[in-house]
Amino acid sequence: MATCVVKDWQGNQTTEVELDLPVASEATAAHLVYLAFKRQMTNSRQGTVSTLTRGEVRGGGRKPWKQKGTGRARAGSTRSPLWRKGGVVFGPKPREFEIKMNRKERRLALRTALQSRVEDLIVVNEFETELARPKTKEIVQAFQRWGIDMQAQSVLLILAEKQTNTYLSARNLANVKVITAQNLNVRDILANDWVVVTGTALDFIKQTFGGEQHE
């Protein structure tokens, strides 16, 4: 069990919250998170690449020259893989990339990954009302007040629901990614230096992805 400090818009500590998510056992945690990460990255592949075989390349129906008497090698089509602009041998074709993982394991991996980032986790109060209009400068200053070096560190910002002003303020920042708690995923949790989550979003995560202790 870990205790996280809750900060307001100005960076002051207001209260504390316990991050007591049921996680995987120490013996299986690393492998479980690895499997969830591998599944996410593999399933994101589109698998739409497609090359043309000699039967699919347009043209090449007429025999280029007669079979005998020319002194040249026999040729039946200009779309042979041996020819320029010919078909491709054993090239990639559309396929499905999918690794299955049941929901209980996926949620356990999410909780384990999030709990492992407790040292880099910042809980903040809801701040949408502090942004009267989209302003990148204001949200950068807020991150700095929360103790984040915006020049060298990346941030995952987790909100309870999509907030237009927050999203528009952060979208120009290459090192900031904004997601909702519903779209929480292992890759984003692990790929960023800091994880900033609002109190409401953290409550949603506990209620939605909570579960029993894994043995």
The reported pLDDT for the residue numbered 196 is 95
Residue 23 and residue 108 in contact, taking contact as beta carbons nearer than 8 Å: yes
Of the candidate ranges 4-8, 106-110, 153-157, the one whose mean pLDDT is the lowest:
4-8
Position 150: which residue type?
M
With residue 206 as reference, give the H or E element that holds it: helix 199-209
Residue 146 and residue 122 in contact, taking contact as beta carbons nearer than 8 Å: yes
Highest CATH level, class, for 2-45+101-209: alpha beta
The count of residues in the chain is 215
Give domain limits for the chain.
2-45+101-209, 46-96
pLDDT digit string, tens, across residues 11-38 = 898 888 888 888 999 999 999 999 999 9
Please state, rounded to an integer, the average pLDDT across all residues of the chain.
91
Would you list the DSSP string of 100-142?
Answer: ---HHHHHHHHHHHHHHTGGGEEEE---GGG-SS--HHHHHHH
Angle subtended by helix axes 103-116 and 199-209, to nearest 10: 140
Q: Sorting pLDDT into bands at 50, 70 and 90, what band is 98?
A: very high
The reported pLDDT for the residue numbered 212 is 52
Q: Sorting pLDDT into bands at 50, 70 and 90, what band is 214?
A: very low
The first and second tokens of residue 66, run together, are: 């007669």
State the average pLDDT over residues 93-103: 94
pLDDT digit string, tens, across residues 106-139 = 999 999 999 999 999 999 999 988 888 999 999 9
Cα–Cα distance measured from residue 215 to residue 210, given in angstroms and rounded to the nearest whole number: 15
Residue 204 and residue 114 in contact, taking contact as beta carbons nearer than 8 Å: no
Query: Is residue 72 over pLDDT 90?
Result: yes
Tally the C-alpha atoms within 13 A of residue 163's C-alpha that lie toward its C-beta: 24
Distance of CA 29 to the CA centre of its chain: 20
- 146-150 contact pairs (CB < 8 A, 24+): 146/7, 146/11, 146/122, 146/196, 147/11, 147/122, 148/122, 148/193, 148/194, 148/196, 150/175
The reported pLDDT for the residue numbered 18 is 85
pLDDT digit string, tens, across residues 159-192 = 999 999 999 999 999 999 999 999 999 999 999 9
